[in-house]
Chains A and B, each alone.
Chain A
Amino acid sequence: MNTAHDHPRDRIPGWGADLDRANRPAVPMERRPPRLEGVHWDEPPRQRSNVEILKSTEHLRMPPVFGTSVPPRGLSGWIRRRAFRHSENDLRHWLMLLFADRVDTVEGLVSDTRHSPRVRSVVALAGTIAIAGLLLRRSAS
């Protein structure tokens, strides 16, 4: 316990500035109406997109706004689509998504390898050597 000579207020910048709970911006936790300026819509306009978005079964309707990065693809995408048949309340949903993430990293590695200039050079070089070897062997025989 602090003594009168060693009170935090004497050594801490701003000590007690928000001691009064009225100064704390999230008190009460739920606060109506919200102190939010600039809202000029009742229902947000719906986002239009051709990107495949997976929706939680716990959403009764599609939220109007969403991210469109990295749509599901390949085997990992197939697993993700099946994961979204289960609710967030169902452990299978999350375990399947974690499994899909691991599959996705393997697919990513394969994709990176295919598109890597270094790997392409090595493959091209190996192919050239193989063809040259084959031609040399034929001409020798």
Chain B
Amino acid sequence: MLATTYRRPYRVSARHVPDPAIEHPLDAIVKVLRSCICGSDLHLYHGLVPDTRVGSIFGHEFVGEVVEVGSDVRNLKVGDRVIVPFNIFCGTCYFCQRELYSNCHNVNPEATAVGGIYGYSHTTGGYDGGQAEYVRVPFADIGPTPIPADMHIEDAVLLTDVVPTGYQAAEMGDIRENDTVVVFGAGPVGIMAARSAWLMGAGRVIVVDHVDYRLDFVRRYAHCETVDFRSVGDMAIHIKKLTDGLGADVCIDAVGCEAAGSAMQRMTGVTMKLQAGAATVLHWAINSVRKGGNVSIVGVYGPTFNAVPIGNALNKGLTLRMNQASVKRHLPRLIEHIREGRLDPRGIITHRVPLEEVSDAYEMFSGKKDQCIKTVLIPPGATDAASTTTTIPEDNAA
């Protein structure tokens, strides 16, 4: 089969590799119909995630059709079309028993600090990913969710990560009515966090970035205010000026370890790797939120350490919440939001690219070229896996 394989930093290629096989009685093999390149895939692509082995298949955002099931699978059958959450989880461990599916303890021998994720290095379990024609899906009876008959396949693929992660970012901010919410990052997750903040009753949503086309897009798509940090002297002062000197009620980090905005942080975190990525946004978030406020972190950082102003967080009495999204627990509510027209995920898709051209797609997304926000990959033979849409409006953005 054709698959996106990692070659070296800044280099992936579409190569022919052996098809996946059933390796466990609860496995299924899924034929991928659509997959996406995620912002966090760029951390792998840039060689920042430890234990990223040459030849690994990338991709944790995909939907597909079941083509084979293991001997113990009861709830899925060949031909079912499914949304596959990016988390791999067992359903019965201590953490799954608490609905912390992203923290499952039974699926990742290589690390205890993170659960299992498709196509995201051996640090998350060494599973092959979905930017391919076929994928092995463990715990097929509980992970995958059938794609609703009335749902567009492009909305479905964005439910595997981007939408739930943006939604959980807002949820972890514990937003109350009329709160001022600052979202750092106008990438796909930041955009979804901004949209989700409105669902939770925010009074103001402000998105911070430095890429003009993304700021324009998020202003239209998420109906929010924007701040270009290049035109701001000091982020904390600027946010305080916007909020009567108090600071925002909630700050959301939707950027992670490759943040721009501080030459020192870039030098120590990205170039020299003296810390686990640039902690610029963590600084901004902690210093821009009001006393007693909430900081929600979904941006990805490495496993070692970052220099963050934890003393300020203590003295300001902040609540810091963070996690990988537990996709499965969000899906029923998010499907409802899409059906009701409150969310329009596929409105963020800017590029649809054949899997054969994945190398160029990564280069484009990494370089923020061609006004790229979200890229969908189409495997060979899946071009005709058209939408089943009957009711979803084309675009409900303003």
Task: List chain A positions with a Cβ less than 8 A from chain B.
Answer: 1-2, 8, 11-19, 23-27, 29-45, 47, 49, 53-56, 58-59, 62-70, 72, 76, 80, 84, 88, 91, 94-95, 97-98, 100-102, 104-105, 107-109, 112
Any A CB within 8 A of the CB of B188: no
Q: How far is the CA of A109 from the CA of B55 in the complex (A)?
A: 11
Return chain A residues, CB-CB under 8 Å to B328. Answer: 36
**How near does chain A come to B200, taking the closest CB pair, in angstroms?**
5
Count of A-B contacts judged by CB separation below 8 Å: 219
Return chain B residues, CB-CB under 8 Å to A47. Answer: 23-24
Q: How far is the CA of A23 from the CA of B116 in the complex (A)?
A: 27
Which positions 32-81 of chain B face chain A at CB distance < 8 Å?
47, 50-57, 72, 74-75
Q: How far is the CA of A49 from the CA of B318 in the complex (A)?
A: 46
Return chain A residues, CB-CB under 8 Å to B201. Answer: 15-16, 18-19
Q: How far is the CA of A14 from the CA of B342 in the complex (A)?
A: 5
Q: How far is the CA of A62 from the CA of B112 in the complex (A)?
A: 11
| Residue on B nearest A64 in the bound complex, by CB | B106
Any A CB within 8 A of the CB of B307: no
Any A CB within 8 A of the CB of B25: yes
**How near does chain A come to B263, taking the closest CB pair, in angstroms?**
23
Given contacts A27-B171, A70-B56, contact A35 B23 (CB under 8 A): no
Contact assessment for A101 and B7 in the assembled complex, using a CB-CB cutoff below 8 Å = no
| Residue on A nearest B302 in the bound complex, by CB | A94
Return chain B residues, CB-CB under 8 Å to A58. Answer: 111-112
Contact assessment for A69 and B57 in the assembled complex, using a CB-CB cutoff below 8 Å = yes
Mostly, the A contact residues are loop
Q: How far is the CA of A100 from the CA of B54 in the complex (A)?
A: 11
Contact assessment for A67 and B125 in the assembled complex, using a CB-CB cutoff below 8 Å = yes
Task: List chain B positions with a Cβ less than 8 A from chain A.
Answer: 7-9, 23-26, 47, 50-57, 72, 74-75, 88, 90-92, 96-100, 105-113, 116, 122-123, 125-128, 138-139, 141-142, 168, 171-172, 177-178, 196, 198-204, 223, 273, 302-305, 321, 326, 328-330, 332-333, 337, 340-343, 396, 398
Contact assessment for B125 and A66 in the assembled complex, using a CB-CB cutoff below 8 Å = yes
Return chain A residues, CB-CB under 8 Å to B7. Answer: 105, 108, 112
Return chain A residues, CB-CB under 8 Å to B25. Answer: 45
Contact assessment for B223 and A12 in the assembled complex, using a CB-CB cutoff below 8 Å = yes
| Residue on A nearest B98 in the bound complex, by CB | A30
Contact assessment for B24 and A35 in the assembled complex, using a CB-CB cutoff below 8 Å = no
Residue among A30, A58, A108, A112 having the largest count of chain B Cβ atoms under 10 Å:
A108
Return chain B residues, CB-CB under 8 Å to A18. Answer: 196, 199-201, 333
Which one, B23, B50, B112, B332, contacts A97 given CB within 8 A?
B50
Contact assessment for A100 and B51 in the assembled complex, using a CB-CB cutoff below 8 Å = yes
Known: A40-B72, A98-B50. 10 other contacts (CB 8 A): A12-B223, A25-B171, A31-B329, A34-B96, A53-B126, A58-B111, A59-B109, A65-B138, A67-B122, A70-B53
Given contacts A38-B142, A41-B92, A64-B90, contact A17 B203 (CB under 8 A): no
Q: How far is the CA of A36 from the CA of B142 in the complex (A)?
A: 7
Contact assessment for A24 and B109 in the assembled complex, using a CB-CB cutoff below 8 Å = no
Interchain Cβ contacts under 8 Å between A and B, 25 examples: A13-B341, A29-B100, A29-B321, A30-B99, A34-B97, A34-B98, A34-B99, A35-B99, A35-B329, A38-B142, A39-B92, A40-B74, A44-B26, A44-B139, A55-B109, A58-B112, A63-B105, A65-B88, A66-B107, A67-B116, A70-B54, A88-B111, A94-B303, A101-B47, A108-B54
Residue among B74, B98, B343 having the largest count of chain A Cβ atoms under 10 Å:
B98
Contact assessment for B55 and A108 in the assembled complex, using a CB-CB cutoff below 8 Å = yes
**How near does chain A come to B348, taking the closest CB pair, in angstroms?**
15
Nearest 5 CB-CB pairings of A with B: A14-B342, A67-B127, A67-B126, A108-B54, A19-B201
Contact assessment for A44 and B90 in the assembled complex, using a CB-CB cutoff below 8 Å = yes
Given contacts A8-B198, A35-B99, A45-B26, contact A14 B343 (CB under 8 A): yes
Residue among A35, A40, A67 having the largest count of chain B Cβ atoms under 10 Å:
A67
Given contacts A65-B139, A67-B126, contact A15 B198 (CB under 8 A): yes
Contact assessment for B106 and A101 in the assembled complex, using a CB-CB cutoff below 8 Å = no
Given contacts A53-B126, A88-B111, contact A42 B92 (CB under 8 A): yes
